[in-house]
Structures are given as structure tokens and as C-alpha cells.
Structure 1
Amino acid sequence: MQKSLFGEQEPLFEKPLIKSGTPVEPLVAEAELMALADALPAHLRLGTSSWNYPGWNGLVWDGEYTANHLSRQGLTAYSQHPLFRTVSIDRSFYRPLNVAQFAEHASQVGPDFRFVVKAPSLVTDALVRDESGRGMRANATFLNAAEAVQKFVEPALEGLGSKLGALVFQISPLPGQLLMRMPEMINRLHRLLKAIPDLRSIAPDGVVAVEVRDPQWLVPQFVQALRDAGATYCMGLHPKMPPIAEQLPILRALWPGPLVCRWNLNALHGAYGYEEARDLYLPFNRMVDPDLETRSALVRVIAGTAGAGQNVYVTLSNKAEGSAPLSIIELARAIRLNVQGIGNK
């Protein structure tokens, strides 16, 4: 009998085939995964951060493909995984995408799929980065409303249409001099958010969310800015930020409303451990560092939000526990148990 993903239990997928041609075809999910997907709340969308990982052979893909091949042609296969109803487009952070690029992504998925899209660093980095990713000098377009709308919001909305789920402004860590001017930073963010047109006429499930990497943002003025602009808070699970319990007051203050969450990096690697986690977890095909505490806390937030009829977008990185697809399976199992427990009370 084929070895399963988690030891000696029944396999979740059929044995993968090794292929190099096109198109990329998905693995055929077995009944357990299909039943798991059917048991999840309708308003919940789980997915990963990007999809171009060759190491997912045997988890998502039917064989061996290069990262470039998966980047170009893997999205359709990805979207056919029963638990993947969203994905985070992360490449837009490094360079703005145009309408045609967004439309190409939208054409590869079904009508129920929704995208989480990261805003370009052009407007979310206070410092211009060099080739290594380090900040060099002040960014003149940081939190610039016109740039954000023209280079990000309008192309994403036109290209993705009704398949737009969440536009995420992930504000990178601020230099010390700006951390001392938080009221000014929040006012600039507020002006940007107010300039964004209403998404709902084109994307009924669309939401604007702000993720931060400095806890100094988490003050009442920040909440007021989000609420006034009709935006929400993106709960970022990253070592630079407090644990879920300490971020919940922001979500409670914005309730009722959707949940947007990005689980980026396992806390045990520290605030600057991205490369360490990547090197340790490659090729992202096994669970290395299960974070049961974070998973349990996240399940409660997801169940409460989706159970109240609010949309939920949760994306996970391979750097969260070692393999995003396996993390999603375990998260989905825990959500199903939570939902069943509520139903039995």
C-alpha cells in the first residue's frame, strides 16, 4: 500500500506521475479530502502564498515540474485542489502587475475562486530596496494614494473582476524615525484608503485589508482609520507581530466584518528568519515544525467569523510549518472538528 502523507493512514492522493509536458494536471484527491472540503463553512477560503513549488509533487501536482512552468501554467491545477479556494498573488509586491496579467490569472480559475493580492512595495515600503532587498533611501511614493489606485487597485479590480477577494497592503517595517511619527503615518494611510473606490459593484466579495509589521500601528487611531475607510485589518502571523490573542482586539473593534489572515513565518525562526526557514523546509513537501498553538487559536477565529456569515480569507506560506498544502489539510481538519463541536452544543 502506498505510504500516506501522515504515516500509515490511508493515502489522500493517487500516486503521482512524473511528467514534463503541458498542461500541469492536478492530483486526483481521494474521498477524505473531498468530504473535508464539503464540511467547511461556505464563507471560508483557504489557500497558499503563491503556487510555483516543484516540491508539491505528490501533494498538489501530478509529477515533476519546474518552478517557471508552474508559475505560468500551474494555477488551474492548483485551483482544482478541493481545499484551495484562494491564493495570494505575492509577485505583485515586487513589481506592479497590469490588467492583462491579472486577467490571465482570472481566466485560469473557476467562478468561485477568489484572489488575495499584495500591493506593490512601490507604495508599502518606506524605503526603496536594493537588489538584495535591503532598504536604501526614502521612498517618495510610500503610502501615495494616487500611485496605489493607479498602479494597484484599478488594474487588479479590472483584471480580476468578481474573482477579487482581498487587496492587501502589507506595510513593511518602518525605520525608527517614522515609528516616532505614527499619527502622521496613520493619517497618510487613511488618505490612501479613502481614495480607493468601492470594490463591491465589480467584486462583491472584495475587501481592502492592511497588514503591518510593527506593533506600534495597533492603536485606536489605526482602527478608526480602517473603519472610516471601510477597510479591515489583515492579521499577520509573523514573528515581528504579537500572537493572535494580542491582535484580536483590533478585529473585535472592527466587528462585524471579514477576516483576512496571512500566516507568513513560524515564530520559532524569529523576526529575521525567513531565509533560515526556507533553507530548512525546502522542498516544502513535509510538515517540519507543527505550530499547534497558533493553529488552534486561528481555528477559533476562523470558525467564529465564518460561522457568523462573514467572508474569511486565510493564506499560508511554506515557512509557517514546512509545507503549506499539508498545513491547510491540518487546519481544515481542525476547523471541521470545531464546527462539529459547535453544532453538537
Structure 2
Amino acid sequence: MQNSLFDESPQSQAGLIQTSGNFVAPMTPQPECIALAEALPAKVRLGTSSWNYPGWNGLVWNGDYTESNLSRHGLAAYGQHPLFRTVSIDRSFYRPLNLAQFAQYAAQVSNDFRFVVKAPSLVTDALVRDDSGRGRRANANFLNAADAVQLFAEPALQGLQHKLGALVFQISPLPAHWLAQMPKLIDRLHLLLKSIPDLKSIAPDGVVAVEVRDPQWLTPQFVAALRDTGATYCMGLHAKMPRISEQLPILRALWPRPFVCRWNLNPVHGAFGYEDAKDAYEPYDKIIDPDIETRMALVKVISGTASGGQNVFVTLSNKAEGSAPLSVIELARALKGNS
């Protein structure tokens, strides 16, 4: 499939592909990808979750590169794909990034590019976890407003400047006994959101979004906290959460706001199937489990939001269908067919 979408680049034809150092050769897109990009509404930005996948050779890169090399130098090549006008910076979830690191990312992409950035788990996870992801103890910094500003919002805003699209607070699954404390947790989240500095003067397209992994968050109190602070809801397409139709009432209650969506995991793998999806889909070079139901439901939300004059930021994971770049292409095709 990928070979029908991309031609060999001039570098490949000349046998000059660099697979080390600080250069990553992009693929030359087929006319269809350019046409799909031109057909998308200007308000709609599609992209992937991270960009450091060697298996995207022939889809995004033209050459065999290591994951480390792509992590450091692949963003500039990624940004040359006509359909990629956003990307989710996921590494910031594992360790806070500083202003200089964000500025380096911003320097590698065009002025029209916008970043979706995940807040550090230091702020968004109720538990401190070990390397295997197992929770070890309560996190004293959970939903700490000062940390959210100093370790995340301020460096991201100052580093990315107008290329900031969405600051996403993805709140990890809560311990079961915490679910009964939801009103108190929403109050804490409300205070955090109120502490975030105004984005618009520096990043006119910037929005704060909250993604959750427990449906117990989705209450009128949660909606009121988002509405009061100008934040929006990040629709998380993950087996831990209800399907799109059941999350739509939150978006309707907040309208008009930008639409932020992270398509994370195919429901065939279940709520705890991240590792199963990883094993099934690597090296992420083909669609294995097409999720047409989700895709078409997403098309309706994207089209409705953009036609209402609001920005759209949608990022897709390899775990959604098997290959995030190919999923973006299929989503773009569906959007064009719906126009």
C-alpha cells in the first residue's frame, strides 16, 4: 500500500541516502497526498503521535534510520509530509521538557505547523510508577497547579510560541478507591486550569485540553470547570473510554470550542491491550485492523467542528489501526469523500 502512495526520492535514486548523522531524508509524496492535503479545510490539522518509528521507511522517511536518530532529527522530514500539520509530543509525558527543547522542535517545522503537547505524568498521574508502569505510591504532585505552570505550560508556550496548538493534560487511570473522590479531584483540576497563563497573545491557536481515562470524570461539574477556564475536552479514543457517540455530549456542552482528539488504541485489544497492539502492529508499516466505524464517526465531528469555524487537532497512534501515517491518509480520504 505504501509503495502506491510515494515515489522514490531523488536522493534514493542517486544512492545518496544518509542513515546516520543529523539528516533524515523525507519521502517525496505522490500527487494524491498533495491533493488530499489541499482538499482539507484550513482549520483541520492531522498528524501522528510522535515520529520516531524506523518502520515508517517508505511512508515518511526514505532510508533506514534508528529510533534514536529519528527522535533527534526526524521531525523536519516528518513536517514535509503534506498531510502532517500537527504532531503529538509524547515524550514530555515521561519527563518535562525545557524551553530550549521546545524551541528546537519549533525551529524544524513550518510556520503553519501546530504542536499538541502532553503534560508530564508528574502532574497528571495519581501514582508514581516503576519502569514497568506499575503504580508504587501516591503522587504528591498530582494536579499540582504550580508544577503544571512551571514545568509544562510556560516552557511549552515560550518555546513553541505561535506554533503551539494544544496543551493536553492526559489524566492517567485513577486507583479504584479514588473514583469516589471525583468532586474533590475536579475542584483540584479546576484550580490547575485557572492557573494556566493566557495562551492567545503568543499562540493565537493555542488551547488547553483535558483527556481522561476514566469515564467517571465526565460529569456536569467537569464540564463547568472546563467552561469556566476556557479549556476544552480532548476526546481520547481508547478502549478505556466510551465510543465517540457517548463522548459527544461533552463537546456539545462546551461548544463552540476547538476539537482536540487523540486516537490512541484500537478497541479490539481491550482496555489493557497496549502491549498486545504493539506486538501485533510493529513495525507499523501497514494497516492491520481498520477501524472504519471510528473513522467515519470522527469524520462527522471533524467536519462539523471545522464548518463551525473552530480549529481541529487530531493525532493518531500506530496502535489505532497499525500504522499512523496510513491512518492519517485514510482519514483524509474519508474527509474528502464527506465534503
Give the TM-score taking structure 2 as reference length.
Answer: 0.96
Counterpart in the other structure of 2:7:
14
Structure 1 residues 98-129: Cα deviation after superposition (integer angstroms, max 9, x where no partner): 00000000010010000000000000000111
State the 1:251 CA deviation. 0.1
CA contact (8 A) 1:51 1:74 kept: yes
Write the letter of the residue equivalent to 1:209: A
Q: Distance in 1 between matches of 2:41 and 2:135?
A: 41
Counterpart in the other structure of 1:5:
2
SS at match of 2:24: coil
State the 1:307 CA deviation. 1.3
State the 1:176 CA deviation. 1.5
Counterpart in the other structure of 1:64:
64
Q: Percent identity?
A: 73
Counterpart in the other structure of 2:186:
186
Write the letter of the residue equivalent to 1:47: G
SS at match of 2:321: coil
Write the letter of the residue equivalent to 1:15: E
Structure 1 residues 103-157: Cα deviation after superposition (integer angstroms, max 9, x where no partner): 0000100100000000000000001111211111110000000010000000000
Q: Distance in 1 between matches of 2:166 and 2:64?
A: 31
Write the letter of the residue equivalent to 2:224: Q
Write the letter of the residue equivalent to 1:139: N
| Structure 2: gaps (5+ residues) | none
Q: Which is further off, 22-31 or 111-120? A: 22-31
CA contact (8 A) 1:50 1:90 kept: yes
SS at match of 2:85: strand
Structure 1 residues 40-88: Cα deviation after superposition (integer angstroms, max 9, x where no partner): 0100000000000000000000111100000000000000000000000
Write the letter of the residue equivalent to 1:208: V
SS at match of 2:289: coil
CA contact (8 A) 2:233 2:260 kept: yes
Counterpart in the other structure of 2:315:
315
Q: Distance in 1 between matches of 2:134 and 2:213?
A: 15
Alignment of 1:65-144 (within 5 A): 65-144=65-144
Write the letter of the residue equivalent to 1:126: A
Q: Which is further off, 244-253 or 131-140? A: 131-140
Write the letter of the residue equivalent to 2:6: F
Q: Distance in 1 between matches of 2:38 and 2:63?
A: 26
User: Matched residue pairs, number?
Assistant: 332
Counterpart in the other structure of 2:148:
148
| Structure 1: gaps (5+ residues) | 340-345
State the 1:297 CA deviation. 0.2
CA contact (8 A) 2:2 2:58 kept: no
Q: Distance in 2 between matches of 1:260 and 1:313?
A: 5
State the 1:23 CA deviation. 1.0
Structure 1 residues 149-175: Cα deviation after superposition (integer angstroms, max 9, x where no partner): 000000000100000000000000011
Counterpart in the other structure of 2:166:
166
